Amino acid sequence: MLVARREQRLRRLAEQLGGEYEVCDVGDRDAVERMAAAVRDRHPLISLLVNNAGIPARGSFETVDAERIEQVTRVNYLGGVWCTRELLPALEAGRPSHLVNVVSVAGTVASGRAGPYTAAKHAQLAFSRSLAAQLRSRGISVHTVNPGFVETEGFPQRGRLHSRLLERLVLDPPVVADAVVRAIEHDRREIFVPRWYRGAAIVQALVPGLVARLAGATGYRDSET
């Protein structure tokens, strides 16, 4: 069951996969409620939910439009909250089941040049970790996936980074997809893709001042264009 905003692309992909789709903007709580009701009506038992929706917000809290800050918070954080709340009864009915939240390394390492995006991802990470503690006893395994830079249509990473070194670290989506499958198969609660990104999270926790200085020297341009 595929969920996204663009029906033409959803239909084409669903046909390729032999699956189904529902058109929905996960940042719209009313739309999520309608989508979830339709899904539960056809599939009252769900064994896997993947919260993967995300949009960029390149720039600081000073430079990003207020509307964009609200939008990135709704999609990147609240979208997963609404989808999980509405589909949780079906996950419980289908247990043992799995919930995957695709967060980001940005949820563990703060960057002033992408402040609104980073803040939304920090919230999403806290949400995912709290769910892992809450739902384990109810037969639902929660997996938090923290990728680094990934090249997608919505996140054209190559060419936007100041550093050639960082550009060489950009991953393609199949790498992350494989990591998600492994996390489910091996029941991993939280993973980083690649694994060595976990070191960045440790450094952030131990010496946040150093991370702040490094983030000021490298990273995204402030412009959306």
- Is residue 182 situated within a structural domain? yes
Instruction: Let me know if 220 is a catalytic residue.
Output: no
Range of the domain at 84: 44-217
Asked if the structure places residue 104 within a domain, the reply is yes
- Determine contact, residues 133/182, Cβ cutoff 8 Å: no
Tens-place pLDDT, residues 9-54: 999 999 999 999 999 999 999 999 999 999 999 999 999 999 999 9
pLDDT (tens digit per residue) in 157-193:
776 666 676 677 888 999 999 999 999 999 999 999 9
Q: Report pTM.
A: 0.86
Q: What is the pLDDT of residue 80?
A: 98
Residue 105, domain member (yes or no) = yes
Q: What is the CATH number of the domain that holds 129?
A: 3.40.50.720
Residue 1, in any domain of the structure: no
Q: When comparing pLDDT for 32 and 63, which is higher?
A: 32
Average pLDDT, the chain: 88
Per the structure, how many domains does the chain have?
1
Given a cut of 70, whether residue 65 has pLDDT beyond it is yes
User: Which of 77, 117, 197, 220 is an active site residue?
Assistant: 117
> 216 falls in which pLDDT band (50, 70, 90)?
low
Cα separations in angstroms, 61 against 93, 109, 119, 126, 151: 42, 16, 10, 21, 24
Please report the pLDDT score of residue 136 as a whole number.
Answer: 94
Task: Answer yes or no: is 152 within a domain.
Answer: yes
